Amino acid sequence: MTNYADFHRRSVQERDAFWGEQAQLLHWHKPYEQVCDYSNPPFAKWFAGGQTNLCYNAVDRHVAERGEQNALIFVSTETNTEKAYSFAELQAEVQRMAAIYQSLGVKKGDRVLIYMPMIPEACFAMLAAVRIGAIHSVVFGGFASHSLASRIDDAQPTIVVSADAGMRGGKSVPYKHLLDEAISLATHKPSNVLMVNRGLAEYAKTEGRDVDYATLREQELNTVVPCEWVDATHPSYILYTSGTTGKPKGVQRDTAGYAVALAASMKHIYMGNPGETYFSTSDIGWVVGHSYIIYGPLINGMATIMYEGLPTRPDAGVWWSLVEKYKVTVMFSAPTAVRVLKKQDPEYLTKYDLSSLRGLFLAGEPLDEPTAKWIAEALGKPIVDNYWQTETGWPILAICNGVEPAPSKFGSPGKAVYGYDVKLIDETTAEEITEPGKKGVIAVEGPLPPGCLQTVWGDDQRYVKTYWSSIHNKVMYSTFDWGVKDEDGYFFILGRTDDVINVAGHRLGTREIEESISSHSNVAEVAVVGVADQLKGQVAVAFAVLKDVSKAATPELAKALEAEIMKVVDAQLGAVARPASVKFVTVLPKTRSGKLLRRAIQAVCEGRDPGDLTTMEDPAALQQVKDLAAR
């Protein structure tokens, strides 16, 4: 068994040799001439001179060996639909979609904007784009028109692929009127809109622009569309990061570096094997959906489950029933989803045969210790936290059990992943922090490993200014997250560098206070924000979701519970970290991907405009905050 410390050291000190080995996991049409061209920092060109194709590596190369094996398993508990596509069937569907693109004038380098629910056609749309060398940009289905328009103007797609509607909680969520409005608002006008009609919502058709997918698919049933071999550095997709203001920030990904990074991660981090089944509960609108619903599992020759629905519908056992049915070996979800399940009847966690499952991976937001412990005990399976960003495309911090098994530590996403030269940087001096337990900014020494963003789409200057200029006098990639490292090299995330509360001169991370409040036995979930205060500059205000709401059913009970929670914070962090108030809500404001809208909560508490809320899951959640903040 390889020693992980040595494996990681090689990945950063003998970079070319290390990544040259990982590159053998891919099919190359033309071998690369240079592993890493870092002659123009901070821009890294990985596998320069080589040629390959993302779709070929994800689909075509598997057809000969495992053509009849499941590749894409679509499950919708919203429409009660379940359909599996073998690698051979997936190849045929992707070629049909690619032929449609070509018939509509899409060429290599053109952009294809995908605005779709979690349906098989969305997967075909992504793979067909990279098959012909086009660049896809997936925008979360149901995203508001104004935000969609800004992405259309930034990406300038030749065509948009969409559907009549998505479904959530048994109700259809129409898309077409939002898309029509977005196109009317946008300066750039796509030449065509390719519509998948699910029969869920009627929509108006724009003559000369809108075309029907089912009709065109019939015409291309047997069309063969070969893969376009592209340069290793050719862009594969643009993905806009959520929460941006003003001009959208499009993360631009390459082709070969991304494919190599994902192939290696499937082996070293997720430990999935060809022929097995991978189940990520994310959405293709987010980076996890790109990396670990579509590309990662398929590149690795695994079946991937694409799920449309809620974790609690028809009941809280639905995900585990899929694990049993499809013998899922690797599962990937978010801490938010686990907290949702925590409120359900625990018998659903033991109702199904989960013997195939080797581990549950969680990412997307910090995983608090109480939630991690609860799900680990309930499932009796390893729970592996991992930390990364839209920008990196795959984990920065994790436990690489595929290299050398190591214990997880609750509350920590693990150690620096191979390829990432992770440093903790003192905010004031910009020097590296080596002392265990001392807080710093998590940063990465360049070059970033394969798979990370090449640049910001259309704006190299913004890429440099945003990511590489915030650490004084050093060209280092900033994650904009605070962290500490223990004596074993495990990192602990303390929250965003811009989520710091300054209370009477004391700098407090919201994450630290949230961890403390979460340890109270009746707290299911909590968000802490800093609110402007005339006396102290800022004070911490907490909004908590309770496991048992009856404990705060009257003002007297609520007051008593608030005092209890404050005592917990006093004992763990000291009186300086005690929130000014703890308010009880039934749900926290979040994006559809499960990220807390801390800035929106803070804005509402301070009587300011909460900004763009198009990614918000439940608009009523913010109203609760507003009502409580006014008291």
CATH, residue 297: 3.40.50.12780
**Predicted TM-score (pTM) of this structure:** 0.86
- Assigned domain for 131 exists: yes
The yes-or-no verdict on residue 12 having pLDDT over 90 is: yes
Say yes or no: 476 and 507 in one domain. no
Judged by average pLDDT, the poorest of 290-299, 313-322, 347-356, 534-543 is 534-543
| 338's tokens | 């686990």
Q: Are the C-beta atoms of residues 568 and 519 closer than 8 Å to each other?
A: yes
Q: pLDDT > 70: what percent of the chain?
A: 97
CATH number at residue 538: 3.30.300.30
The yes-or-no verdict on residue 422 having pLDDT over 80 is: yes
Instruction: Report d(CA 36, CA 396) in Å as an integer.
Output: 19
Looking at residues 341-345, what average pLDDT do you find? 87
* Pairwise pLDDT comparison (502 vs 428), residue with the higher score: 428
| 53's tokens | 């194709």
Q: Are the C-beta atoms of residues 59 and 72 closer than 8 Å to each other?
A: no
Instruction: Report d(CA 162, CA 152) in Å as an integer.
Output: 13
pLDDT value for 195: 98
**Domain around 100:** 4-309+386-480
Among the listed residues 101, 154, 135, the one whose alpha carbon sits nearest the alpha carbon of residue 233: 135
pLDDT value for 244: 36
Say yes or no: 504 and 474 in one domain. no
Give the dihedral sign, CA 428/434/439/445. positive
Instruction: Report d(CA 325, CA 44) in Å as an integer.
Output: 43
- Assigned domain for 89 exists: yes
Say yes or no: 540 and 434 in one domain. no
- DSSP string for 507-544: EEEHHHHHHHHHTSTTEEEEEEEEEEETTTEEEEEEEE
pLDDT value for 245: 44
Q: Are the C-beta atoms of residues 285 and 275 closer than 8 Å to each other?
A: no
Say yes or no: 432 and 520 in one domain. no
- Assigned domain for 82 exists: yes
pLDDT value for 54: 98
Residues 6+ apart with CB under 8 A from 61: 27
pLDDT value for 242: 52
Give the dihedral sign, CA 314/319/320/321. positive
- From 426, 453, 480, give the residue that closes a domain: 480
Helix (H), strand (E) counts: the chain: 20, 32
Say yes or no: 51 and 146 in one domain. yes
- Assigned domain for 375 exists: no
Q: Are the C-beta atoms of residues 138 and 161 closer than 8 Å to each other?
A: no
Residue 110 sits at φ, ψ, to 5 deg, of: -70, 155
Looking at residues 375-380, what average pLDDT do you find? 92
Tell whether omega for the bond before 555 is within 30 degrees of 0, i.e. cis: no
DSSP H or E stretch at residue 445: strand 440-445
Say yes or no: 463 and 536 in one domain. no
Say yes or no: 162 and 28 in one domain. yes
The yes-or-no verdict on residue 504 having pLDDT over 70 is: no
Instruction: Report d(CA 26, CA 232) in Å as an integer.
Output: 12
Other Cβ atoms within 10 Å of 72 Cβ, number: 26
Tell whether omega for the bond before 370 is within 30 degrees of 0, i.e. cis: no
Instruction: Report d(CA 211, CA 188) in Å as an integer.
Output: 19
Looking at residues 510-516, what average pLDDT do you find? 84
- From 480, 507, 531, give the residue that closes a domain: 480
- Assigned domain for 376 exists: no
Instruction: Report d(CA 493, CA 119) in Å as an integer.
Output: 34
What's the pLDDT band for 243 if we cut at 50, 70, 90?
very low
What's the pLDDT band for 15 if we cut at 50, 70, 90?
very high
Say yes or no: 532 and 432 in one domain. no
Give 631's DSSP letter.
Answer: -
The yes-or-no verdict on residue 573 having pLDDT over 70 is: yes
- From 426, 452, 480, give the residue that closes a domain: 480
Looking at residues 373-380, what average pLDDT do you find? 92
Q: Distances in Å between the alpha carbon of 615 and those of 68, 168, 255, 389, 459?
A: 38, 14, 28, 17, 24
The yes-or-no verdict on residue 143 having pLDDT over 90 is: no
Q: Distances in Å between the alpha carbon of 439 and those of 238, 365, 442?
A: 33, 19, 9
Instruction: Report d(CA 459, CA 50) in Å as an integer.
Output: 25
Say yes or no: 392 and 422 in one domain. yes
Domain count, the chain: 2
Looking at residues 248-270, what average pLDDT do you find? 96
What value does the CA radius of gyration of the chain take, rounded to a whole number of Å?
24
- Assigned domain for 545 exists: yes
Instruction: Quote the mean pLDDT of the chain.
Output: 92
Say yes or no: 231 and 122 in one domain. yes
pLDDT by residue (tens digit) across 582-614? 999 998 988 777 778 888 888 888 888 887 676
Residue 441 sits at φ, ψ, to 5 deg, of: -85, 130
Looking at residues 157-183, what average pLDDT do you find? 95
pLDDT by residue (tens digit) across 438-485? 999 999 999 999 999 999 999 999 999 999 998 988 889 999 998 999
Say yes or no: 142 and 53 in one domain. yes
- Assigned domain for 47 exists: yes
Q: Are the C-beta atoms of residues 152 and 144 closer than 8 Å to each other?
A: no
Tell whether omega for the bond before 447 is within 30 degrees of 0, i.e. cis: yes
Instruction: Report d(CA 298, CA 120) in Å as an integer.
Output: 14
Contacts 24+ apart (CB under 8 A), 211-214: 211/104, 213/100, 213/121, 213/161
Say yes or no: 457 and 574 in one domain. no
- Assigned domain for 350 exists: no
DSSP H or E stretch at residue 88: helix 87-103
Instruction: Report d(CA 115, CA 196) in Å as an integer.
Output: 11
